[in-house]
Chain A
Amino acid sequence: MNQIPPLPDLEPADYKSDVTPVWCPGCGHYAVLSAITKALAELHLARENVALISGIGCSSRIPAYTSVYGFHSIHGRALPVAQGLKLARPDLTVLCAGGDGDGFSIGGNHFLHACRRNINLTYIVMDNSVYGMTKGQASPTTEADWTESKLTPEGPGVPPFQPLDIALAAGASHVVRAFSGKVQLLTKYIVEAIEHPGFSFIQVISPCVTYRPEMRALKDRVHDGFAETSANRLEARRRLLDDDGYSLGVLFKSVEPSYTPCHRSGDGVSDLERQFAL
């Protein structure tokens, strides 16, 4: 009988493709790409068993820069694609990635329901509080008084979206905030998120040095405010009352039921076609 030889250990570089990123020099997303590839190497995952799904935006280019399966979907719709894939192929490790505009504005509704369904996947949002690809407009997480865009010269005027609060309220079972400038920690968080059996959400503060150069100063503002992980959702939400937006760590982690669809045996494409027939 032929024996399948064991897979060789892959290095982080093996999870990168030969496509050169077109992100701006200094962009935080490079570090996120590095952390994802390091995490996959730490977990010894075969490339053909991993899928990375994204939406639209600078950060959503990330599947092209990896050698795992990838799908660069449409704006705000990365999570529906990722959830569908995970339900159809539960054996795959599914990662979903994108930016704050894609995830919290265009795809905001999908974010709520992905948290609620708690399907076992990891959602990484590279949050730079700006729409970089379209040249620097205010995004859902932009401060109300940010005045550096021609479109909102007096600032967007609305308070920023609170990703962790919303994720907790909607039912996410693993909620993390990280910083692209701390690659070692980010790698650890991604490994833990992939290992978590449920919907893991990681908000990565990832500075855009081109449209928001002032974000470089964030490396001096982030701190380990969430060093202690809570398994109590209410307590985690209380901790957010004191959050300055720069606390890093695993805020909440709890193993909770996941949505599982009821598959009817025998249902195939031809059955679906029959149901849709007029």
Chain B
Amino acid sequence: MSIDTLPLFLAHAIRLEEDSAINYDAMADALEVHGKSPVARLFRKMAHYSRLHLAEAEGRAAGLDLPRLKTWEYQWPGDDSPENAPADESDYAMNERDALILALKGEKGALAFYASVMETSGDTGVADLAKEFVEEESEHVSILEDWLARAPETGRFEDLDPPIAIG
């Protein structure tokens, strides 16, 4: 992977934050529907932070002519937008601690992406901006790790009629 122009890099940064916000909101909606408001609030907060970063990336892109990429043309390192917390690892019985673990995976995904651009881009301007984003994402990772260290081990939601009846 090599992202060598500022418009291409910012197109990726904008999509990354957009996708992340949408993903966190969808996870929050799903947990709210299932009555898990405290966990939903945490994901909602993460969606809010993603939107703040989105605004920052859009600000950086002001005046630039960004390429319009198709969904599958983004050069993500994995199968999905890198800051997307792995929604498939969520479930209806998760607690706030579980949610923090997922959010941390999302932030680490974004960090890895920006670090990779920083290391591989052939353009100094792109590498410098990626370095700034690496520093920001590192800060987010540290904050989440701190929250996680302080999060109480509350146990999972107790379901008196669990879905798997046998085994």
Contact = CB atoms under 8 A, between A and B. Distances in A.
B79 interface: yes
B74 interface: yes
B33 A148 contact: no
Interface majority SS (helix, strand, loop, mixed), chain B: loop
B89 A42 contact: no
Given A25-B91, A25-B92, A42-B70, A183 B167 contact: no
Interface stretch (B21-29, B55-63, B140-148): B21-29
A188 B88 contact: no
Given A31-B87, A183-B80, A25 B30 contact: yes
B45 interface: no
B64 interface: no
Contact of A25 (B34, B74, B76): B34
Interface residues of A, number: 38
A211 B164 contact: yes
A22 B166 CA distance: 25
A216 interface: yes
A183 B87 CA distance: 12
B91 A183 contact: no
| Chief secondary structure at chain A's binding surface | loop
A147 B167 contact: yes
Contact of B27 (A25, A38, A180): A25
Interface residues of B, number: 30
B91 A213 contact: yes
A185 B78 CA distance: 11
B18 to A, nearest CB: 9
B22 A26 contact: no
Given A183-B80, A211-B164, A26 B74 contact: no
Nearest to A151: B165
A209 interface: yes
Nearest to B162: A210
Contacts of B94: 25
B17 to A, nearest CB: 14
Contacts of A219: 79, 88
B16 to A, nearest CB: 13
B33 A21 contact: yes
Interface of A: 13, 20-28, 30-31, 34, 38-39, 42, 135-136, 147-150, 153, 180-185, 187-188, 207, 209-211, 213, 216, 219
Nearest first, the 5 A-B pairs at minimum CB distance are: A25-B30, A188-B72, A187-B71, A182-B79, A25-B90
